[in-house]
Amino acid sequence: MSTGVASTWKELYNATAKAAEYNANERRNFSRCLPGTRTELLNDLQDDFGQDGRKIVWLFGDSGTGKSSVAHTIAQRLKEQDRLAATFFFSRKQRGRSNPNQVLSTIAYQIGCLHRRAKEAIVRAIEDDPGLLDDDHPRDDQFRKLVQEPLRNLKSSWTEARSIIIDAADEAEPPQPWFTRSAIVPMVLTLNDLLRDHNVPISRILITSRPLPLYLGLQENEDVRDFMYPIHIEDFDATPDIELYLRESFNSIHACRQLHFVRQRPWPTQDILASLSSHVHGRFITAATIVRWVEAAEHPVDCLNLVSNLYNGRVDTIDIDLRSFDSLYHYILCQGTEDDLTQQRAGAELLSDIAALAQPLSASTISILLGIDVRKQTARLAAIINVPPLDPVQIYHPSLRDYLADESRSQYLYIQPCDSHNRLTQWCFRTFRSTLPDHPRDVSPALQYALDYWTFHLLHSGQTPEANGTEYGGHEIPE
């Protein structure tokens, strides 16, 4: 590879959304479906992908019903069969992966990695038009030069048509807060052109999302409606799958924690397991939260009994809807704090602030940025947030942020997202004052984050530097 080609290819890589591919390292905690689960749904999707014709398969489902695991599993199966073209897994937890403007460059990069002819076409297009990767470049031109034409070059090479998978489309939100998530609609319309072009070897586009008004808007578009094939994940009974997942998870906890000294297997009893499986209403995120909560407990047997009592209405201190996993979030946020509302609010604020970060950070970096011991403050919240020693902190599911940002659900634990961004803005400013070095080589990860994202948080806070009352202690606002 010549120096010029390598430089151009690196330029494209820099314009991609990192970790958007289904098997990226950052997604290793969010893997495929457990063997033996979702078999009917997966088989139906697999059969459909093997049929002739072109279509957009749109998998709908409420939060936590396992859509991303299904998308990951289908992607892995297609990859093993050399029938996968590209994937883009959206995530609000990572700024790059929430921006639909980076979908085309990311898909182009993956396609170029699959075949030399596509790569050559993409490199040539960028060299011929140096502004092709700019954010303000016309999307239709980017689509044609980066995706459509390179794929046309593969019509004779790819003897079997391939698929593109877009997961969690409802989590697409451009950096500007005045845009709405309907910004994903132009992207879907653009990708639909691949299906209409019979010189492009793409036959399926799988999209997953929550039930959205944007889908109804797309249904009004005649060009898209003819290709749309909706599937509702709730139409497939997940209760047996949930039960299998819980049984294997609790068997693992029983073995790892050596619970045979206090409770013989099967643990829990089949009655308790069946009751839990029915109460989570097909939400794998709820089942996973229960497992993590029990796994992190000092006394797992007592903890699981508490969960069972909670779902059977025998915990009088929780006066909220037991049919939703809001009860688990509420209980976990309140456990160990008794009636200390201040401490409960502090835990909710910390989770909201972590969820509002523009990119995931390690516990040590967050601790420096926020001026607190994150590991200590989140110890009682291990069921809903992962705080590894070195890797970035991760909130297990975006539904937690939705819960905290919805006053009708979280009640007195309600946290306005703009308040989190306001606090993060002030912490960025404080980091400037306390740690801005004289030599660029001395920039810490916390300071680098503050330099990169203080404007992002200020924009989302709805404030101005003057309204925040922030000063830099002699330092100028960074350019």
The pair of structure tokens assigned to 239 is 């209760």
pLDDT of residue 433: 80
Percent of the chain clearing pLDDT 70 (strictly above): 88
Percent of the chain with pLDDT over 90: 54
Q: DSSP secondary-structure letter at 392?
A: B
Q: Calculate the alpha carbon distances from 271 to 40, 268, 283 in Å.
A: 25, 8, 19
313 pLDDT band (50/70/90 cuts)? Answer: low
**184-188, 296-300, 420-424, 433-437: which has the highest mean pLDDT?**
420-424
84-89 β-sheet, strand order: 84-89, 162-167, 202-209, 55-60, 228-232
Give, in degrees to the nearest 5, the angle at Cα 414 between 413 and 416. 140
3-state helix, strand, coil in the chain (%, to 5): 55, 10, 35
Specify the pLDDT at position 175. Answer: 46
Cα distances (Å, whole numbers) of residue 185 to 102, 213, 281, 355: 14, 11, 30, 25
Distant-in-sequence, close-in-space partners of 229: CB < 8 Å, separation ≥ 6: 48, 55, 56, 57, 58
DSSP summary character for residue 259: G
Give SS3 for 87. Answer: strand
Q: Quote the CA–CA distance of 333 and 96 in Å, as a whole number.
A: 29
Dist CA 249 CA 304 (whole Å) = 12
Listed range (46-55, 144-153, 176-185, 237-246) with the worst mean pLDDT: 176-185
89: helix, strand or coil: strand
Q: Kindly state the DSSP code that residue 180 receives in the 8-state scheme.
A: -
Name 243's bridge partners: none
Give start and end residues of each alpha helix (H) in 226-340.
Answer: 239-256, 270-279, 284-296, 300-311, 326-334
What class does CATH assign to 3-235?
A: alpha beta
DSSP 405-444: T-HHHHGGG---HHHHHHHHHHHHHHHHHHH--SSGGG--
- φ and ψ at 280, to 5 degrees? -80, -5
In 10 A of CB 324, how many CB atoms? 19
Please determine, for residue 312, whether its predicted confidence score (pLDDT) is greater than 80.
Answer: no
3-state secondary structure of 339: coil
Q: How far apart are CA 86 and CA 64, in angstroms?
A: 24
State how beta strands 55-60 and 228-232 pair: parallel
With tokens 């509420």, the residue in question is: 330
Joined tokens for residue 108 = 């182009």
Residues 409-440: tens digit of each pLDDT: 899 999 999 999 999 999 999 988 876 666 56
Beta strand 394-395 with 84-89 is unpaired
Q: How far apart are CA 446 and CA 423, in angstroms?
A: 15
- Kindly list the domain boundaries of the chain, sorted by start residue: 3-235, 238-316, 417-468
Please say whether the beta carbons of 239 and 287 come within 8 A.
Answer: no
Alpha-carbon distance of 352 to 404, in angstroms, equals 7
What is residue 164's predicted lDDT score, i.e. its pLDDT?
98
> Which pLDDT score, from 0 to 100, does residue 478 have?
56
Could you tell me the two tokens for 277? 């499986």
Q: What is the mean pLDDT of residues 8-17?
A: 96
CA distance 83 to 363: 39
Q: Please give the Cα distance from 279 to 277 (Å, whole number).
A: 6
Say if CB 468 and CB 425 are below 8 A apart.
yes
- The span from the CA of 112 to the CA of 120, in Å, is 8
Residue 439 CB-half CA count within 13 A: 2
What integer best gives the mean pLDDT of the chain? 86
Q: How far is CA 293 from the centre of its chain?
A: 21
Q: 459-470 pLDDT, tens per residue?
A: 999 876 655 554
Q: What is the pLDDT of residues 345-392, one digit of tens each?
A: 999 999 999 999 999 999 999 999 998 999 888 888 887 888 888 889
Q: What is the DSSP letter of 279?
A: H
**Half-sphere CA count of 292, side-chain side, radius 13 A:** 22
